[in-house]
Structure 1
Amino acid sequence: MKNITEILHSLFLSKIKNLSVTERFEKLIIKGSLDSEISISEDHKRLIENFFRPLNDRWVLLFFINEGEPYAETNNCISDDFVFKLSDVRPFEDDALSFKFVVQKNILNGACNVYDFSAFSLWVKNLSPLSFLNSINKTLTSNLFVNFNIIEQQETNLFTERVRVNDQAKSQKELNSSWEYFHFDNSKNYPYKSADFKITSKAGHFDELENKLIILRNLFSLTSILDVTYLREDSLNFQLHGLKRHSGEVLIDNLDEKFSIYAEINEWVYASESNISDKIGLVRNIISMYKKEESLAIDNSAYDSIISGYKIYLKENISKYIEVRGKLNDEVSRVLIEIRESLNELTVNYQKSNFLYISFFLSVFILRTMNKVDFQDVFTKDATIMFLSLLVISFIYLIYSVILVLTNRNRIKNRYEKMKLKNTDLLTEGDISKILNDDDEFKSELKYANRKIIGFIILWIVTMVIFYGALKFLSESI
């Protein structure tokens, strides 16, 4: 597409002299002087109008004689009255004819049109990084990004989350001025993080803008790594609390490529939401050792030290984790053993009860049958009463044994829950649940215990009923 100055040359059909082009974020101003001949054709009038129609910016063209008040003026179109006034100009030999073309940019949906790439690049180059950010800050905070639409170089492309060139894609990430792991005094005015200014793709060259973005990325890497930071004019004041304590200031203009190590560290720290506190603590300790007293610059080897330190930290934590898991599994095993021992106690009590009245039954039966020919009336009244008493005692013993086992079972359940609760200071509830397989083994053991208790109760009662039936058949008094 044509450059705006080329269109103006065509418009006046004359050679423009002393051309001056100034372009900023919000405005374009073109000034120049003209030959005495002034002529505007219909074709070129339509050319400038068609050029601006899809761009939504407001423009004004002013014509001067001898730098006085505007002789002719037109807004957003080349009016017939404007053309008539220009064609009626009959300047004297020493008259100076000049014009001023002003475009007031309408920043709509974050889009800022750039009409003269060279002039705009010069404006960006002459700004400090913080001044550049201030010029676009209102658009960034309201629209989440700004896109520089370079009219004459549509093939140029650059993308970051907040600043783009010829890329109108919507930003997916909201701004956040509240941070948990550091204190940046100016976060309300500058709610940005390092990743907002990371260049993820580009085509063509816009070196001046790229340099500003690199510095801004490094700046917000420092604000989110160091403990306390605040801006004062064009410098960043900081406090670092690591193994060594440091404080000082660094010029923002100096945060060039040699500080990009901080951007790499920042990206690693905040790559995921897990272990950020542990990571940033380790980073501050290592930076405090690598940092030189007179500068915030650190050697690239600091990054390797951080990664290695974190691996050692993880290895130590994994060892502790495995140890905790082992202890948890050991405690579960002990709980399960207690459940089984409780069931064994019920078995022993059943056997003791059976042995008691079986031995009595057999003793009476043998003694009586030795003196009798048949098996009727083997048990006398006294023996019958004694055996019935044993059956009653056995039933009471059954109730006692069952109550004892159920009480012990509930005690073990409470102990199991307290054991899980005790380990929540070292493991998450989800991790504990995963280790214990959602209590599957414990629940399975309880189900087995409950079935076995019911089985013993039935077996005990059936045994007593059988012995009572035998007693009824063999007793002389029932």
Structure 2
Amino acid sequence: MEIKENFVTFLWIERGICKSDICENDIKRYVKVLGSDDKAQLTIMDEYDECVEVFSLSDGFNWYLVSECLDEIDSETAGFELHIQKSSTSEIMTVYSWKAFFEYIENLNLFELLNWIWKLIERCGKMVLYVPLGEELYVETKSMIVSSKMEDVDYKEKISAQERDKIVKKVRENVYVKDDRLISLIPEDFEIIESRGNNEFTSVLNHLQLVLCIACLSNYTEIKEYSVRYDMRGYKLVDGEYCIRDAKDVSQTSGVLYKIVQWVYVDDFNVIDKCNIVRNILSLYIRKSWLEIGQEAYTAIISGYKVYLKSSVDNYLQIKNEVVDKITDISEKIVLVAESISTRVRNNLLALASFFITTLVVNTISTEKIENIFTKDITVLSYVFMIISFGYLLLCNWEMKKQKEKIQKIYESSKQLYQDVLCEEDIRNIYCGDTIYNEGIKLADDMMKKYNIFWIVSMGVVGIGIWILYMAQLQ
């Protein structure tokens, strides 16, 4: 008996057997578990392997017709082919002979196997293999499930497209894989959640997970026929080739490396720094093979990162104090500029007040009485001084505007200086969302507004008073 199976076809061939040995139950058990979208046919052949009859089994099965066909064959021996065309669009792939199917995937090279798995995950969101015949079988990861019981099949995706894209993007930013289509797969796809039954498929998953972990942690990776070529630059250069056929059990190593990959890429915090620390430490542990990596390597990486964070925190606090001091200086500078210009506006008002007081005193001394103070000449001169004073006020406001723009540029430049060492969120937090700066601007604006209003009210009152006195003198 010859059985062949891959991801699109199943073929069972028997030659030169007694007609009486072609058993109805053997055929029926395949028909019973036939996938809803699969097509099946039974071909009866004579002793010369010539086709006698072809029966379609997809729309029902009638053994009586097969039995009649066998009776018509003169020879005592016959042959048959059971051919099942499996659907390439169904969410579930029915595997009719696990042994034949496993031989098929073992004969695929590494590149073909990874591509085959990715096509199924990409098309359906999850790779689902239903193995209804044979021993009990159950293997589950976040992206695939293999089960001998339909009730155990779970279609729900555990890795969303958004999660996958996020991880893939971060991996591609930190590593180079010669054919980066394979990075669409991630080590999490092969992390075994549950496994039951004597099943060699878990070993395949562990090997594939190890390959992807190597790709996610090395600087350079190239997937070959049955191996992965890697180059990792840490404290020392580590390069070589890992062959998936070199070791039978890699579950311990793949488990440790998976924890490391999860730790590096699980969030957006310090991914580049984490990659550098991992490569530095792993380069010290890998002498000949990645299989030398154990739990102690993971522990060393976590400890090394804590030491790195401690030194980084000291530098971070120093930078933060520098930034806070700079913000405070800028805010104080705004207030000082506002006070300086406000003082000049105040002096402007005092100069006008001195002019009017002097005019009043001189007129009183010369006439020995307080009357006819604002003659035509003095009135005109007073309004000229008021116009000049107003022009000076406008000049002070323009100068204040220019000073604010200059300080704004200094403030924004200070932010740019720290973008190489701090992330945007850190800069936003340290600068308190520009609260301190905005408060300084508001204080300066309020100060200038107060003096502007005071000048306008004062000059309005003085101008009206001069006009009333002048008109009174004319009468």
CA change 1:361–1:100 in 2 (3 A) is: same
| In 1, Cα distance between equivalents of 2:118 and 2:53 | 31
SS of the equivalent of 1:69 reads: coil
**Counterpart for residue 199 of structure 1:** 192
* Cα displacement string for residues 176-212 of structure 1 (whole angstroms, at most 9, x for unaligned residues): 799333233344478533222222344x325211111
On the 8 A contact 1:136/1:146 being kept in 2, the answer is: no
Q: Deviations over 1:203-233 (max 9, x none)?
A: x325211111111111111122222222444
Shift of the 325–443 alpha-carbon distance from structure 1 to 2, 3 Å rule, reads same
What is the alpha-carbon distance in structure 2 between the residues aligned to residue 399 and residue 382 of structure 1?
A: 26
Question: Residues of 1 paired with 2:111 and 2:320: CA distance?
Answer: 55
CA contact (8 A) 2:127 2:143 kept: yes
Q: CA separation in 2, counterparts of 1:471 and 1:71? A: 126
Q: When you count helix as a share of all residues, which structure comes out higher?
A: 2
1:300-354: CA deviation from partner (whole Å, max 9, x where unpaired): 2111122222233334334434433333333222222222222222332243334
- Find 1:165's aligned residue among 140, 146, 161: 146
In 1: Cα distance, 2:356 partner to 2:321 partner: 52
Which runs of 5 or more residues in structure 1 are unaligned?
Answer: 1-19
Does structure 1 retain, via aligned residues, the 8 Å contact 2:131–2:146?
A: yes
**Once the 2 structures are TM-superposed, how far is the Cα of residue 102 of structure 1 from its aligned partner?**
2.9
- SS across alignment from 2:266: coil
Q: Which of 204, 209, 216 is matched with 1:217 structurally? A: 209
Identity of aligned residues (%): 20
Mapped to 2, the partners of 1:125 and 1:421 lie a distance apart of: 54
Tell me how far 1:55 sits from its aligned partner: 6.3
CA contact (8 A) 2:111 2:225 kept: no
Matched, 1:423 2:418: yes
1:243 aligns with 2:235: yes
Shift of residue 271, structure 1, vs aligned partner: 1.9
- Structure 2 counterpart of 1:259: 253
- 1:383-402 matches, within 5 Å, as 391=386, 394-402=389-397
Q: Is 1:185 paired with 2:185?
A: no
Cα distance, 1:401–1:232 mapped onto 2, change above 3 Å: closer
Mapped partners of 2:197, 2:330: distance in 1: 70
Paired with 2:458 and 2:286, the residues of 1 have a C-alpha distance of: 85
Matched to 1:69, the amino acid is D
Alignment of 1:38-53 (within 5 A): 49=31, 52=34
TM superposition shift of 1:370 = 7.5
Q: Distance in 2 between matches of 1:299 and 1:45?
A: 50
Counterparts of 1:88-127 in structure 2, within 5 Å, are 97=77, 99-108=79-88, 109=90, 111-117=92-98, 119-120=99-100, 123=103
* Residue number among 449, 452, 460 corresponding to 2:455 in the alignment: 460
State which drifts further: 151-160 or 302-311. 151-160
1:367-382 matches, cutoff 5 A: 375-377=370-372
Number of residue pairs matched?
450
Aligned partner of 2:296 among 293, 296, 301? 301
Q: Which residue of 1 aligns with 2:129?
A: 148
Cα distance, 1:291 vs structure 2: 0.9
What is the match of residue 70 of structure 2?
86
Distance in structure 2 (CA, Å) of the matches to 1:250 and 1:269: 22
Task: Summarize deviations over 1:155-195 as a string: whole Å, max 9, x none.
Answer: 74322355421436265547979933323334447853322
Partner in structure 2 of residue 14 of structure 1:
none
Contact 1:147/1:163, CA 8 A, preserved across alignment = yes
Maintained 8 Å contact 1:376/1:473? no
**Alignment deviations for residues 350-381 of structure 1 (CA, whole Å, 9 cap, x no partner):** 43334445455546656765898853246789
CA distance in 2, matches of 1:343, 1:139: 68
Letter in 2 for 1:113: T
Aligned-residue Cα RMSD (Å) equals 4.3
Residue 42 of structure 2 aligns to a residue whose secondary structure is strand
TM-score (norm 1): 0.75
Identify which of 206, 219, 225 aligns with 1:227: 219
**Separation (CA, whole Å) in 2 of partners of 1:390 and 1:213:** 92
Residues 219-260 of structure 1: CA deviation (Å, up to 9, x unaligned): 111122222222444233222211101222222123512421
Give the Å deviation of 1:411: 2.3
Query: Against the structure 1 CA distance between its residues 386 and 364, is the aligned structure 2 distance closer, same or farther, given a 3 Å change threshold?
Result: same
Distance 1:445 1:179 in 2: 44
1:53–1:84 distance in 2 versus 1, CA, 3 Å: farther
Query: Normalising to structure 2: TM-score of the pair?
Result: 0.76
> CA distance change for structure 1 residues 131 and 457 in 2, over 3 Å: closer, same or farther?
closer
What is the alpha-carbon distance in structure 1 between the residues aligned to residue 64 and residue 374 of structure 2?
A: 139
**129-138 vs 144-153, greater mean Cα deviation:** 129-138
In structure 2, the gaps of 5 or more residues are 148-152
Q: Partners in 2 of 1:45 and 1:299 — Cα distance?
A: 50
**Which secondary structure state, in structure 2, belongs to the residue aligned with residue 425 of structure 1?**
coil
Report the 3-state secondary structure (helix = DSSP H, G, I; strand = E; otherwise coil) of the residue aligned with 1:265.
helix
